[in-house]
């Protein structure tokens, strides 16, 4: 990420990369602890898959992903996104153009549109794009953000919620976001914190160690990434998740018996659980003035 050639082994891979399928990288997979061979940069501390799969390989897999369980949890995910939008209200009360990278089924875009934003997004999964169209009447671009033709200095906000950990070259994506944002525009991103207490306690079993994650960030490496792309962090906090009890129970195979009874299963879906796990960053960054003329 920082172009340094000085790095060291971090963790040894725990799955056969040749067997990777679309089901291993969907949003609701529960292959916790399954990782690529990981290295850590001795300069910026970024942790990354090494060797890393190609962008084309990853894109083709995500293009095939189907994940109905993700959409079933739309209500809980809406609560997560609403907290982000409240923060954006304070930065951009006038609203404007919002672009969501990795838009999935359009839950975030639908909420944003209802709150007065002009919304666009991009997503590789044909299935997810179909759901967005049928469920929310949203037309999301199909493709790779890094290869899309987008207008420069056009968007007020670019959203990257749980995105940069999934791609081989995060600097490329962040740099494109810098170019398409307005001079006072904001990049909002959420990504796991590899130095969090949860990551240290759970070690190899940390829930963010998953086949779909190719990179992991610390405070230092994330700050390095954003500054190199021409951003300045204006607000940072730890991300909180809200899910239904039903969804959380479904993540643990040993507890799946609790979902077999339809009455109880329906009841679990009505119980929201907020997880303040303190193991993901929620970052708001704005363009550095010195980079605006380069955008």
More confident residue, 116 or 294: 116
For 130-150, letters b (16+ CB in 10 Å) and e give: ebbeeebebebbeebbbeeeb
pLDDT digits (tens, 9 = 90+) for 94-139: 999 999 999 999 999 999 999 999 999 999 999 999 999 999 999 9
pLDDT-based confidence at 263, cuts 50/70/90? low
More confident residue, 191 or 31: 191
Mean pLDDT of 64-89: 93
For 151-185, letters b (16+ CB in 10 Å) and e give: eeeebbbbbbbbbbbbbbbbbbbbbbbbbbbbeeb
Please state, in angstroms and rounded to a whole number, the distance separating the CA atoms of residues 270 and 243: 10
Q: What pLDDT is attached to residue 291?
A: 60
Does the pLDDT of residue 270 top 50, yes or no? yes
Q: What pLDDT is attached to residue 259?
A: 67
User: Mean pLDDT in the chain?
Assistant: 91
Q: What pLDDT is attached to residue 5?
A: 77
CA-closest candidate to residue 138, choices 169, 176, 100, 166: 100
Residue whose tokens read 């001795």: 42
Please state, in angstroms and rounded to a whole number, the distance separating the CA atoms of residues 209 and 147: 27
The DSSP code sequence of 31-100 is -TT----EEEETTT--EEESSPPPHHHHHHHHHT---HHHHHTHHHHHHHHHHHHHHHHHH-TT--EEEE
pLDDT-based confidence at 42, cuts 50/70/90? very high
Give me the domains of the chain, ranges plus CATH numbers: 7-240+276-292 (3.40.50.150)
pLDDT digits (tens, 9 = 90+) for 275-284: 778 999 999 9
CA-closest candidate to residue 157, choices 107, 120, 204: 120
Mean pLDDT of 238-248: 79
pLDDT digits (tens, 9 = 90+) for 151-174: 999 999 999 999 999 999 999 999
Q: What pLDDT is attached to residue 244?
A: 79
Q: What pLDDT is attached to residue 217?
A: 97
Label residue 205 left, alpha or beta by phi (over 0 means left) and psi (-120 to 50 means alpha). Answer: alpha
Does the pLDDT of residue 267 top 80, yes or no? no
Mean pLDDT of 166-184: 96
Please state, in angstroms and rounded to a whole number, the distance separating the CA atoms of residues 192 and 206: 11
Residue whose tokens read 């679990």: 268
Tokens of 122: 């991009």
More confident residue, 259 or 171: 171
Q: What pLDDT is attached to residue 71?
A: 93
pTM of the full structure? 0.92
Mean pLDDT of 197-203: 94
CA-closest candidate to residue 220, choices 55, 86, 42, 64: 42
Does the pLDDT of residue 295 top 60, yes or no? no
Does the pLDDT of residue 293 top 50, yes or no? no
More confident residue, 39 or 275: 39
Which positions ≥6 away from 149 have C-beta within 8 Å? none
**Residues 271 and 248 sit within 8 Å (Cβ to Cβ):** no
Does the pLDDT of residue 31 top 90, yes or no? no
Q: What pLDDT is attached to residue 290?
A: 61
């Amino acid at each position: 990420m920082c172009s340094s050639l000085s790095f060291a082994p971090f963790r040894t891979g725990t799955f056969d990369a040749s067997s990777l399928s679309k089901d291993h990288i969907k949003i609701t997979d529960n292959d916790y602890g399954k990782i690529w061979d990981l290295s850590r940069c001795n300069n910026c501390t970024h942790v990354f898959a090494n060797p890393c799969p190609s962008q084309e390989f990853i894109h083709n897999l995500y293009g095939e992903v189907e994940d109905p369980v993700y959409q079933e949890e739309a209500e809980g995910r809406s609560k997560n996104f609403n907290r982000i939008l409240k923060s954006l209200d304070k930065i951009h009360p006038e609203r404007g153009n919002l672009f969501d990278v990795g838009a999935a089924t359009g839950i975030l875009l639908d909420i944003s549109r209802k709150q007065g934003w002009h919304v666009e997004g991009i997503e590789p999964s044909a299935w997810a794009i179909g759901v967005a169209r049928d469920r929310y009447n949203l037309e999301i671009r199909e493709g790779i953000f890094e290869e899309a033709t987008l207008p420069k200095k056009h968007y007020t906000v670019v959203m990257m919620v749980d995105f940069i950990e999934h791609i081989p070259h995060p600097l490329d994506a962040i740099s494109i976001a810098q170019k398409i944002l307005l001079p006072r525009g904001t990049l909002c991103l959420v990504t796991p914190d590899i130095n969090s207490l949860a990551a240290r306690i759970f070690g190899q079993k940390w829930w963010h160690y998953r086949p779909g994650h190719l990179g992991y960030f610390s405070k230092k490496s994330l700050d390095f990434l954003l500054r190199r792309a021409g951003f300045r962090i204006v607000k940072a906090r730890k991300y909180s998740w809200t899910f239904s009890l039903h969804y959380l129970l479904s993540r643990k195979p040993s507890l799946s018996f609790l979902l077999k009874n339809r009455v109880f299963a329906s009841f679990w879906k009505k119980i929201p659980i907020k997880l303040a796990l303190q193991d993901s960053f929620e970052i708001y960054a704005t363009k550095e003035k010195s980079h605006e003329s380069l955008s």
